[in-house]
Structure 1
Amino acid sequence: MEIKISTQQILNFLLILSYIIFFGVCFEAGGFICNAIYIMMTDPIPTHKFWAEFDLTSVYHYDAGHFLVMTFFMSITAIMKALIFYLIIKILHDKKLNMLQPFTKDVVRFVFSVAYLTLGIGLFSSWGAKYSAWLISLGVEMPQIQVLRLAGADVWFFMSITLFVIAQIFKRGIEIQSENELTI
């Protein structure tokens, strides 16, 4: 017995998976932001269990400004990741993907938006990793950048360039499609 999985079933599965990831990344971003605000406005004692059990006590005790900068980098990358999955959910939920005519302005706008967001994640991850390395060079004890969710800037840059190329291909596809419609 052969089981056929249709494209629509795969898209429905990806929509559900995107919702799960979106909520997870939103929860993470909210945790970073809320914990940073709580620590800055109240007692700094809980910095040893900032979020996901990693320790930012030494950064906070060294300088609260550096603590805020690190949480800013962590928060902004998490927010951009959430925005990517929001866009994925939006395009899948609104059924803007037309398999019969894939070259649409909505799809090009989507791919460009995700490309810019991945570029932003790459930039902020890179800056955050460099800032963390700089703090370490000053003698501040820091968690690894993987734990801070700032690793992999090179992968985000690679993904961004790939998406920009795909967006340009889709943009050219729209031009060809509209030229063909004019000649008929």
Structure 2
Amino acid sequence: MLIEISTKQILRIVLLFSWIIFVGLSIQAGAFLTNAVFVIVKPAVVDLLWQEVDLSDLRRHDPQYFFVIVLISGIVSLCKAGMFYLIIHFLLTKSVNMAQPFSRVTRGFVLGLCYLTFLIGLFSSMGARYAARYVAQGIKMPDIEQLNLGGADVWIFMAIILFVIAQIFRRGIEIQAENDLTI
């Protein structure tokens, strides 16, 4: 017996998972940014970052470099959380009209995701290069995956794909408008 799942049920499941991921990413972003503030206020307290990412060698080498790495990791986490916030907002406001799915609201949603994924890729790339520079100087650094800076190329690739999809939506909006005028 095959159970048929409706689009409405799938969107509810996506909304539930989006909430779970959003909360996790928000906690992660908050932890990175909180640690960045503590490095300024009371650096002796901060030896381990969120999820025990050890940047103590970098902090001892130069607190400003430490702050920059933590800030970049925080920005990447905030952008990831922002993506899921957009998804949640889009699904909760029921902005999708299944009768006419090509709308300015949907295109704006896809473009918003595109911009955020591009920012994630950009900051991940900058952070990974920044970390590699200190590894070359002999400073002990964690893996870029632990810093949430890995996969910059994948994020940029995803941004390009989302941009293409946004352009397809733009063309779909134009075709819908032409069809509405001819009827």
TM over 0.5: yes
Query: Hey, what does 1:92 align to over in structure 2?
Result: 91
Q: State the 1:155 CA deviation.
A: 0.4
Q: State the distance in 2 between where 1:25 and 1:135 align.
A: 27
Q: Which moved more, 1:1-10 or 1:153-162?
A: 1-10
Q: Does residue 168 of structure 1 match 2:167?
A: yes
The residue identity in structure 2 corresponding to 1:31 is: A
Q: Which consecutive residues of structure 1, in runs of 5 or more, have no partner in the other structure?
A: none
| 2:39–2:63 CA contact under 8 A, matched in 1 | no
> TM-score, normalised on structure 1?
0.97
Distance 1:177 1:107, change over 3 A: same
Q: State the distance in 2 between where 1:111 and 1:43 align.
A: 41
Q: Secondary structure at the match of 2:50?
A: coil
Q: State the distance in 1 between where 2:43 and 2:166 align.
A: 48
Which structure 2 residues correspond to residues 103-142 of structure 1 after superposition, within 5 A?
103-142=102-141
Q: State the distance in 2 between where 1:82 and 1:92 align.
A: 15
Q: State the 1:46 CA deviation.
A: 3.0
Query: Hey, what does 1:31 align to over in structure 2?
Result: 31
Equivalences, count: 183
Q: State the 1:40 CA deviation.
A: 2.1
Q: Secondary structure at the match of 1:52?
A: helix
Identity of aligned residues (%): 49
Which structure 2 residues correspond to residues 1-184 of structure 1 after superposition, within 5 A?
1-47=1-47, 49-184=48-183
Q: State the distance in 2 between where 1:28 and 1:51 align.
A: 7
Q: State the 1:35 CA deviation.
A: 1.5
CA offset digits 1:57-86 (Å, max 9, x no partner): 001000001001101110000000011000
> TM-score, normalised on structure 2?
0.97
Q: State the distance in 2 between where 1:163 and 1:177 align.
A: 21
Q: State the 1:2 CA deviation.
A: 2.6
